[in-house]
Chains A and B, each alone.
Chain A
Amino acid sequence: MISRRTLLRGAGIGALVVAVPVPALAAEGFVPNVFVRMDAAGRITATVPRPDTGQGVRTVVALMVAEELAVDPGDVALEQAHGDTERFGAQGVANSTSVRQLSTPIRTAAATARCLLVTAAAERWRVPVAECTARDGAVHHPRRGRAPYRSLVRAAAALDPATVPVELTPQDRWRLLGKTRGGRVDARAITTGRTRYGIDSRPPGGLVAVVARPPWIGAVPDTIDDAATRALPGVVDVLPLIAPAEGQGGVAVIARSTHQALRGRDALRVTWRGGTPTADSRAWLADLRAALPAQSPVDGLQRVFEMPLLAHAPMEPMNATAHVRPDGVTIWAPTQDPGSLRTQLARQLGLPASSVRVETTASGGAFGRRIEPDPVLEAVACSRRAGAPVQVLWTRADDMRNDSYRPMSVHRLSAEIGPDGLPIRRAHEVVTWPLTVLPIFSNPALIKASGDHFPYSVPGDVTVAVRPAPLRTGFWRSVYAGQFVYAEENFLSEIGRRSGLDQVALRRSLLPAGSRLHQVLDKVAERARWSRPPAPGTARGVACLEEYGSAIAVIAVAEPSSRRVLRVHAAVDVGVALHPSGVRAQVEGCVVDALSTVLGAQITVREGQVAQSSFGDYRWARIGQTPDVDVTIVPSTAPLGGLGELAYPPAAAAIAAAISGDTPVTGMPFGADVG
């Protein structure tokens, strides 16, 4: 029986509309999300409540709806939800939850629509419901024949949903979900250049703004001479921005075209005050090191790991478009969280939420950066001043130098080694910074909860000390797990190497028999032919992680002399892989992040400024450095798990262990000065 909270509307207009609340918000009362709708002509539209930042949620929504309604994915039109948490529930792409939290409500909504259509057909034909089946956009009966959905919509919408039992299509009867064929629903638009990202939003009469940003961290404009700028063609206005986000300020140049805005910015003469013009990330690292307690609680082998600043650097630089009118505001943004953005804007602008419209565009990557609203706040300020729609565009250097970076951290790992070479007691002492974009992330317990997923049966403590962050820090794929797991797995690898133990056998012996990690570790060892010795000149690294409701083991094979990674194998247990190609894609993406950050990408600060400005010096991996990635999806009876961030921490650890050969890993990037 469907929940009382399921909403049906549209009987009066001959359309079928089914909505089911998102569980995360169900406790707060009824949440009428419009998820699935069928019009009088039988056309199906599904709402995608969360943004697609490349993780593929639009594809999974289309597959779920098509599966339950027994149609092709191409028969499901997708509508990207605007920001509205009352209608759509939580809309943030965070903590690898998109598919996990949407799967039940969306499948239930579509299954409800199917069951109502089947019931309507059975009533019309005066046959038992059990004799009717839905297939290919119609209800079928062995003797009565076939009734297309469109002929049933009106009758189905008139039924009382509380009287119709709803069953989800069981997994063993899936035609689409869990199958290897079938790619991204937006693939044609992407490969023909028709996908509209935030940067492609240009409402009629729209202007463009670029912002002169601080030449060192925390500086604000002191004097502004904009005479030369205002004399340039196309320049409409110049506007000081007072710290739209913490630690940020600047001078916006609003112009008719992007090039005119960029030229206008070049012509500005601004002096700056405040901030930290001498800041240096090497000194920050020394401060973190100095904050380690004098003595570790465990005597034995000890190693200190240093982790760098990292930037998000999505391919689509930060941007947002706003149109502020007397009666409200419309935003077009590649945001990771349109619902919270709308709530925050309404509060900040003193408007009712109904006067704030946030249109979610496609997003050219996000990786945690687009949870934050700073480009949107800049666009609002510019549009209010200009009285027209304004797109604020960050250049690549703006993006790289004004990010919310992954925090630096220092990790001291200690282990007492038993007579058999295995660790018998351990300590992991962490000193790091909070995430300044979310104040609760200054709580050491929360940082520990984010980072600490040590799965091996070695007793010991993890302690976290938090130092004030000297620049803006934020959520970066896997959050603190990226640093913690890298240190822990590399330390375990060093213990194994010193004790002459097999790295897979060592981990197996420390994992509970029959556990999910045990299974994925066995599978990846088989895929990587672990039992055979590595080829001459090559070395291997292994690492595991259970988090987000999923489990993964990774083996990397590399040539230490050239630091070339030859192959990466991963075995994942995600419970149910709804879109296997998408599952593999997320693992492949995490592996490239891992490769990039282990081989050389890091952010450094010199003389108060981030030294890197583009992909020339923030050394993200290129195609020639990237090996093939072999991903095995392990059959599982576990509930649906999350995946977007799972593979990054163990892939980074396994790659570092492989390229390091016999050299102990002491930080990231491998073999580089950190900071």
Chain B
Amino acid sequence: MARYLLRVNGERHEVDVEGDTPLLWVLRDELGLTGVKYGCGVGLCGACTSHVDGQAARPCVRTAADGAKTPITTIEGLSRDGNHPVQRAWRELDVAQCGYCQPGQVMAAAALLARDPDPDDAAIEEALRDNVCRCGTYPRIRAAVRRASRIMREER
């Protein structure tokens, strides 16, 4: 066991875990951030997608020791009021079915729009390629990313 200082959603947290503990389980089990979803544990499904240093990343394939190096944002910290343009677009277009993959989808979309505010379909599909949705909400996800991009443009 070792102590790690993590910066998550703008707050500092000290955790006492084995250094090889996947960041996913640190966030979920130690910090109670259960919006970060376990789907595969090996970086294939994207359900846990969060932001590490502003980039979309998979906490399931990073360790607690990695996590201590850079600030982390989870779905719980994406916006103060739940009204990030991506979250609003997701609600406007009624994207979710079971909803389990959606925190990861939302975080992947938000990271994409932060670096490319006006992505075309190819860019959307590339950025979200490895975010699996087993309910099949992909057509609405694609439309919601376009909608979020428009909301951001209108409000700039």
Q: Which residues of A contact B (CB under 8 A)?
A: 52-56, 183-184, 186-197, 199-200, 202, 208, 233, 257-260, 263, 313-317, 362-367, 393, 395-396, 581-582, 585, 588-593, 614-616, 620-624, 626-629
Contacts and interface: CB of A to CB of B under 8 A. Distances in A.
B25 A315 contact: no
A208 B25 CA distance: 12
B91 A396 contact: no
B91 A314 contact: no
A315 B100 contact: yes
Given A259-B29, A585-B97, A615 B75 contact: no
A202 B37 CA distance: 14
Contacts of B96: 184, 186-187, 190-191
Given A257-B29, A259-B21, A396-B42, A184 B98 contact: no
Interface in B60-99: 74-76, 78, 82, 87, 90-99
The 5 nearest A-B residue pairs measured at CB: A193-B35, A592-B136, A364-B100, A54-B98, A183-B94
Contacts of B41: 395-396
Contacts of A317: 38-39
Choose among B103, B126, B135 the residue with the greatest number of A CB atoms under 10 Å from its CB: B135
Contact of B25 (A192, A259, A588): A259
B142 interface: yes
A170 B46 CA distance: 45
B98 A200 contact: no
Contacts of B25: 257-259
A188 B131 CA distance: 20
Given A259-B18, A364-B100, A623-B124, 12 more contacts: A183-B94, A192-B35, A193-B103, A315-B100, A315-B133, A364-B37, A364-B101, A365-B98, A585-B137, A588-B137, A588-B139, A590-B136
A315 B103 CA distance: 12
17 contacts: A187-B90, A193-B34, A193-B74, A257-B30, A259-B17, A315-B47, A316-B98, A317-B38, A317-B39, A367-B134, A588-B136, A588-B139, A592-B138, A624-B129, A626-B136, A627-B139, A628-B142
Contact of B99 (A257, A362, A623): A362
Contacts of B97: 54-56, 365, 585, 589
Interface in B85-131: 87, 90-103, 106, 124-126, 128-131
B131 A623 contact: yes
A365 B35 contact: no
Nearest to A314: B134
Nearest to B92: A183
A616 to B, nearest CB: 5
Contacts of A622: 125, 128-130, 132, 138
Contacts of A194: 35, 76
A482 B1 CA distance: 51
Contacts of B101: 315, 364
B28 interface: yes
Nearest to A568: B139
A186 B106 CA distance: 15
A191 B18 contact: no
Nearest to A367: B134
Contact of A585 (B29, B94, B100): B94
B44 interface: yes
Contacts of A200: 34
A673 to B, nearest CB: 23
B94 A315 contact: no
Given A588-B139, A592-B138, A191 B106 contact: yes
A48 to B, nearest CB: 15
B57 interface: no
Contacts of A52: 98
A338 B118 CA distance: 45
A623 B140 CA distance: 10
B74 A615 contact: no
B141 interface: yes
Nearest to B126: A624
Given A588-B137, A589-B97, A615 B29 contact: no
Interface in B30-60: 30, 33-42, 44-45, 47
Nearest to A366: B98
Given A257-B29, A363-B98, A193 B135 contact: no
A588 B95 CA distance: 11
Interface-centre pick from A364, A396, A582, A590 (highest chain B CB count, 10 A)? A364
B75 to A, nearest CB: 4
Contacts of A192: 35, 75-76, 78, 82, 87
B91 A188 contact: yes
A191 B76 contact: no
**Which of the listed residues A183, A192, A621 has the most CB atoms from chain B within 10 Å of its own CB?**
A192
Contacts of B126: 624
A23 to B, nearest CB: 27
Nearest to A195: B99
Contact of A621 (B21, B47, B138): B138
Contacts of B136: 588-593, 621, 626
A614 B40 contact: yes
Interface in B11-31: 17-18, 21-22, 25, 28-30
Contact of A190 (B22, B102, B125, B131): B102
A198 to B, nearest CB: 10
Contacts of B90: 187, 191
Given A317-B38, A590-B136, A623-B129, A193 B44 contact: no
Nearest to A260: B18
A315 B42 contact: no
Nearest to A189: B99
Contact of B44 (A191, A195, A585, A615): A615
A211 to B, nearest CB: 15
Nearest to B98: A54
A645 to B, nearest CB: 13
Contacts of A202: 29
A170 to B, nearest CB: 26
Given A56-B97, A585-B137, A193 B75 contact: yes
Contacts of A196: 34
A615 to B, nearest CB: 5
A191 B91 contact: yes
Given A54-B135, A187-B96, A191-B82, A623 B22 contact: no
Contacts of A199: 34, 37-38
A314 B39 CA distance: 9
Nearest to B89: A191
A199 to B, nearest CB: 6
A581 B18 CA distance: 46
A396 B139 contact: no
